[in-house]
Amino acid sequence: KRWLTLEEINSKEDIAEKSGLGFHVPGMFDKVIDINNCYLQKEPSNAIRLSIKQFADENNLTYFNIRNQNGLLRNLLIRTSSTNDLMVLVQFFEDDKKSINLLMEHIKTSFPEITSLLYIINPKANNTIYDQEVICYNGKDHIMEEMDGLYFKIGAKSFFQTNSEQAKVLYKKTKEFAKITENDLVYDLYTGTGTIAQYVANSAKKVVGIDSVEEGIKAAYKNAERNKITNCTFHTGDIKELFTDAFIAENGSPDIIITDPPRDGMHKKVVEQILKIGAKRIVYVSCNSATQARDLSLMNELYKVTHIQPVDMFPQSQHVENIVVLELK
């Protein structure tokens, strides 16, 4: 359901059209701002979104109501890349095959430049897709991204920075601050598709990547093979359960730790293990400075902050990626 403006509410008129396709209102999981133009993502993103909404309205396709848990059209994801690949993923709530095929065929024929056209039928209460089957309607099941001569395969469930141009800045700075030497063993926590791990691999003796998303780790291995990188290993599992003394004993104690957790930050167990290891340097990349500050305070007795570098990954918003360098006291 779309967000009604104050003018619409005060008009006391009966608002017939309450469906929307846009972005969530901050802090409101059940309201969407229905927009005509997003200035943050290049075309054909706006054209695709507007076309889908027009087609849905003309064909009486229902919009998902998260409170009532009904409706067909749930979520739309559009990803562009520097290689000109284009992924469109439509998430449906109801398994209405006729309506799903009708919409997917419309998207396919209207936008032949889409290289990866996917959909998901998600009848759960929440929008997360990591436990859902991704169905490839047309094209490939992934897009490719290039970064300083390295190529990365990105699937629907893979984490990769949305701003490719600034991601290069972020990773260059991360590598620079890590000060990796040829004898260093590096751990890359929350490695995603192994982007940072492979970006720093040519400076290190070995890099060990860990992530909880199996699809991302599979992609990391394929990316490493594609990029002819042989000194990276990747491991799947809940990091707080996998990152243990036994894991360290098997894979070696890291000289440098790079960590790039999700917005929730690192679990206390992960922080405790980092402190137990006592690596000479930690580079902490974060998209949420509040949880980053919380984690840094837990490491304050053993480490000192020596450098802070924000990177503007999200133009025209208050969000930044923040790199913090920690050195042993």
Residues involved in catalysis = 287
Q: How far apart are CA 279 and CA 259, in angstroms?
A: 12
CA distances from 171 to 283, 295, 296, 326 (A): 11, 21, 20, 17
**Each residue of 175-203: b (16+ CB within 10 Å) or e?**
bebbebeeebbbbbbbbbbbbbbbbbbeb
101 phi/psi in degrees, rounded to 5: -65, -35
SS3 of 129-166: the string is CCCCCCEEEEECCEEEEEECCEEEEEECCCCCCCCHHH
Dihedral, CA atoms, 79, 80, 82, 84, nearest 10 degrees? Answer: 130
40 C-beta neighbours (distance < 10 Å), count:
12
Strands (E), the chain: 22-24, 32-34, 73-80, 86-92, 116-121, 135-139, 142-147, 150-155, 185-189, 206-211, 232-236, 256-259, 281-286, 303-311, 321-328
Residue 196, both tokens? 């940072």
Nearest to 132 by CA among 92, 191, 174, 175: 92
Q: How far apart are CA 233 and CA 205, in angstroms?
A: 12
Nearest to 27 by CA among 11, 48, 47, 3: 3
Q: How buried is residue 208: exposed, middle or buried, by Cβ count under 10 Å (0-12/13-18/19+)? A: buried
